[in-house]
Amino acid sequence: MDRLDFDKSIIELEKKIEELKKMTESKAIDFSDEILKLEIKAEKMRKEIYEKLTPWQRQQVARHMQRPRTLDYVGRIFEDFTPLSGDRLFKDDPAIIGGPAMFEGRPVMIIGTQKGKDTKDSIHRNFGMPNPEGYRKALRLVNMAAKFGWPVISFIDTAGAFPGLGAEERGQAEAIAKNLRDFSTAETQIIIVVHGEGGSGGAIGIGVGDKVLMLENAVYSVISPEGCAAILWKDSSKASNAADVIKMTAHDLLELGVIDEIIKEPSGGAHRNYDKTAAEIKAALKRNLAEIKPLELHDLLERRYQKFRNMGKFLEITAEAAGAGKAG
Amino acid sequence: MALFKKTKPNEVEVPLKRRVGVPNGLWTKCEACKEALYTKVLEENLKVCPKCGYHFRLTSKERVNLIMDEGTFTENCGRLVALDVLAFPEYKEKLKKNQETSGLDDAVVTGEGRIGGMQVAIGLTDSSFMMGSMGSVVGEKIARIIELAIGRKCPLIIVSSSGGGARMQEGILSLMQMAKTSAALAKLAKAKLPYICILTDPTGGGVTASFGMLGDITIAEPNALICFAGPRVIEQTIKQKLPKGFQRAEFLVSQGFVDMVVQRKNMKETLVKVLKYFKPAEHN
Ligand SMILES: [Zn+2]
């Protein structure tokens, strides 16, 4: 069980509160006043500690074993979800789930990477790291959604696309590239929710859409902090330094113009309150869908194109500036 | 076909000695068969080892000379230089050093010219600049050359020499260039214009997983490494050595992800042949 260092004091207090609650119930000793006091204290601790998390600590929250998985949200946000299976080419990839569901009385298509809930499930899901068939399955579902005019909601929580032998043999790069291209022109609304780890190509492979929303403690990066540290300092134990450098938090990404909105998490992180986190995501989805729903298809697609077209920062040297010997 | 003819006035001068991996001495050791070769003989042979056929890496400039009609290439899409947006350790120094050694602003050259008389738009990534990795500049210029092809209604050719994939030093913005370039290619496809993709050694990561795998026709040089995850990463995952030839051009042809492997000396005639199919009817 992975305990977070910065979480320990909160967990201890939460345990104490639980004990008092049990005693109050069973032994008829009334600790109500003490419980109330301690709950206020715990809430204050959760707020203060989680507000000040470093990027590396957020990465750990994002990877927490108890953090809600895509299917935890699907069950709480949508009704009548029907999981569909397979890419119709090779096989099914349990690391990517998807299928139609009802949202506010209307059909939508859900796709998302799915990490496991326990060791057995994690192995079954390949720890949420998709193979090419996962990306191809996602594209099949997006195309189906476009055919029937259903909005797509894509949930991202993956350390990355699986770097395996079979994945390379079956064209991991081709599968991701095709998704990038075809999501960009898919004729329906697409909303992306990065709720855990957004691991590089494995994330963007189902990450092109009209709106990109991100949970407060989620991370999204071109490389893991460990990978970055290994390249930079030949030392993957310096991952916490690399996490600062690589700019991977929701706040960084909002500033860089890569995401549209940060979704608040309950104090103490999403793993403390699945229902509340799901309710926040649901509200954000409702709002964002309502915003893009009225757009004509042509405008929607042009906006989606421009959104990614405008990403990136560089300096353009104009002829005059070059002549004057300085950058413009 | 001379790779190293005199530079045309409209071309950027990139001295041969700045090339990574090929020393400018009298002798050059083949990286594959270790044979000591006369550098001059090697150059006359288009930097392909006469003994074993190993294809040394070319710069974008050398590639332009190899495949474009002489004197027809002009650079365009502006001069863009990278910004150190993340204040990433040593990035500024790295950029400066690579600009000096490669003679390039960044890891990409874009322009227009003719191949077998046919007008094309062309983008080339260059492994002599930070392993050809894609940051905002590469992504922007590739997107611009795609849009230029759409504007000109001409075929697009992209030559990849990007072992670096998405450039770490620009973080998430590099990742987004994958989406940007792929979306631009969707527009090109909608305009019913051809994209011929040439993959050379090495092409990896975010470049393979965007414009590297979206060609109507995809051609690779012999033995070029073309991958998503690099061989070392995979070996760490599976904890065993990879089979010989894994992720090499010939392997990708047999797996169905590349159309053909073409020797360097046949690259231009192959392009001329293929481009014929895309000639607008009124010019036939
Ligand atoms: Zn040789």
Domains contained in chain B, CATH given: 57-277 (3.90.226.10)
With the CA atoms of A64, A68, A71 and A72 taken in that order, what torsion angle do they form, in degrees rounded to the nearest 10? 150
Using alpha carbons, select from A16, A7, A3 the residue that is nearest to residue A45: A7
Q: Which of residues 119-138 of B touch A (CB under 8 A)?
A: 135-137
A310 within 8 A of B177, measured Cβ to Cβ: no
Query: Taking each helix axis from N to C terminus, what angle separates B267-276 and B60-67, rounded to the nearest 10 degrees?
Result: 60
A182 touches chain B (CB under 8 A): yes
Instruction: Tell me which of A170-179, A319-328, B24-33, B110-119 is least confident.
Output: A319-328
State how far the Cα of A161 lies from the Cα of B201, in Å rounded to an integer: 22
CB contact under 8 Å between B172 and A185, yes or no, is no
The secondary element (H helix, E strand) that includes residue B140 is helix B136-152
Phi, psi of B118, rounded to the nearest 5 degrees: -95, 130
Residues of B with CB below 8 A from A305's CB? Answer: 183, 187
What pLDDT is stored for residue A324 in this prediction? 55
Tokens of A189: 């609304």
How far, in Å, are A254, B88, B90 from residue B97 at the CA level?
A: 31, 15, 11
d(CA A201, nearest CA chain B) in Å: 7
> Cβ(A19)–Cβ(A26) under 8 Å?
no
Interface test with B, best of A212, A224, A309 (most B CBs within 10 A): A309
The pLDDT score that the predictor gives to residue A2 is 55
Contacts of A294 (CB under 8 A, 6+ apart): none
B191/A contact by beta carbon, under 8 A: no
Phi and psi dihedrals of A58, rounded to 5? Answer: -65, -40
* E strand or H helix at A261: strand A261-263
Residues of B in contact with A314 (CB under 8 A): 80-83, 135-137, 140
Q: Is B159 strand, coil or helix?
A: strand
Per-residue pLDDT of chain A (328 residues; tens, 9 = 90+): 456 889 999 999 999 999 999 888 887 788 888 899 999 999 999 999 999 999 999 999 999 999 999 999 999 999 999 999 999 999 999 999 999 999 999 999 999 999 999 999 999 999 999 999 999 999 999 999 999 999 999 999 999 999 999 999 999 999 999 999 999 999 999 999 999 999 999 999 999 999 999 999 999 999 999 999 999 898 888 999 999 999 999 999 999 999 999 999 999 999 999 999 999 999 999 999 999 999 999 999 999 999 999 999 999 998 776 655 444 3
A97 Cβ contact list (under 8 Å, min separation 6):
A70, A71, A74, A83, A110, A111, A112, A113, A114
Q: Which of B13, B3, B16 is nearest to B75 (CA)?
A: B13
- What single string gives the DSSP state of each residue in A116-157? -SSHHHHHHTGGG---HHHHHHHHHHHHHHHHHT--EEEEEE
Q: Tell me if B213 sits within 8 A of A171, measured CB to CB.
A: yes
Output the pLDDT for position A30: 85
- Can you tell me the distance from the alpha carbon of A41 to that of B8, in angstroms, rounded to the nearest whole number? 74
Nearest alpha carbon to residue A203 among A150, A252, A154: A154
* B98 pLDDT above the threshold of 50: yes
Report whether the peptide linkage leading into residue B202 is cis, meaning its omega lies within 30 degrees of zero.
Answer: yes
Chain B residues with CB-CB distance to A223 below 8 A: 168
B271, pLDDT greater than 50: yes
Q: How far apart are CA B252 and CA A138, in angstroms?
A: 23
Q: Which of residues 164-183 of B touch A (CB under 8 A)?
A: 166-168, 170-180, 182-183
Cβ neighbours of B278 (radius 10 Å): 16
Read off the amino acid at residue A147: K
In the structure encoding, which two tokens stand for residue A120, read together?
């057995």
pLDDT-derived band of residue B17, with 50, 70 and 90 as boundaries? very low
Alpha-carbon span B111 to B121, nearest angstrom: 6
| Confidence class for position B280, pLDDT limits 50, 70, 90 | confident
Contact A177, B195 (CB under 8 A): no
Instruction: Enter the tokens of residue A153.
Output: 């909601």
pTM for the model stands at 0.94
Is residue B222 within 8 Å of residue B261, measured between CB atoms? yes
DSSP A51: H
Indicate which of A139, A156, A168 best probes the interface with B, i.e. most B CBs within 10 Å of its own CB: A168
User: For position B16, what pLDDT does the model report?
Assistant: 40
In this predicted structure, the answer to whether residue B4 has a pLDDT above a threshold of 70 is: no
pLDDT score recorded for residue B14: 40
d(CA A98, CA B83): 39
- Tell me which chain B residues have a C-beta less than 8 angstroms from the C-beta of A212: none
Q: Which residue has the higher pLDDT, B164 or B155?
A: B155
The angle subtended at Cα A67 by Cα A66 and Cα A69, nearest 5°, is: 110
pLDDT of residue B7: 41
Contact B106, B81 (CB under 8 A): yes
Which residues are in the CB-under-5-Å shell of ion ligand 1? B 30, 32-33, 49, 51-52, 54
- Indicate whether this complex's ipTM tops 0.90: yes
Compute the nearest-CA separation of A173 from chain B (Å).
4
Read off the DSSP letter of residue B134.
Answer: B
Taking alpha carbons only, the member of B47, B86, B67 closest to residue B1 is B67
All structural domains of chain A = 8-52 (no CATH), 60-309 (3.90.226.10)
* Percentages (nearest 5) of helix, strand, coil residues in chain B: 40, 20, 45
Structure confidence at residue A319 (pLDDT)? 74
What is residue B10's predicted lDDT score, i.e. its pLDDT?
42
Q: Give the Cα separation of B171 and B175 in Å (integer).
A: 7
CA distance B254 to B208: 17
Collapsed DSSP state (helix, strand, coil) of residue A110:
strand
| For residues B261-280, average pLDDT | 96
Chain A and chain B share a number of CB contacts under 8 A equal to: 187
What is the arithmetic mean of pLDDT over B126-131?
Answer: 96
Mark yes or no for CB contact A314/B214 under 8 Å: no
| Those residues with Cβ within 8 angstroms of residue B270's Cβ, 6 or more apart along the chain or in another chain | B219, B260, B262
Query: For A185, what's the count of Cα atoms within 13 Å in the CB-facing half-sphere?
Result: 12
B/e letters for A207-238, b = 16+ CB within 10 Å, e = fewer, are: bbbbbbbbbbbbbbbbbbbbbbbbebeeeeeb
Q: A172: which 2 tokens?
A: 């991991």
Share of chain B above pLDDT 90, in %: 86
* Mean pLDDT of the region B3-27: 51
- The Cα–Cα gap between A176 and B178 comes to 10
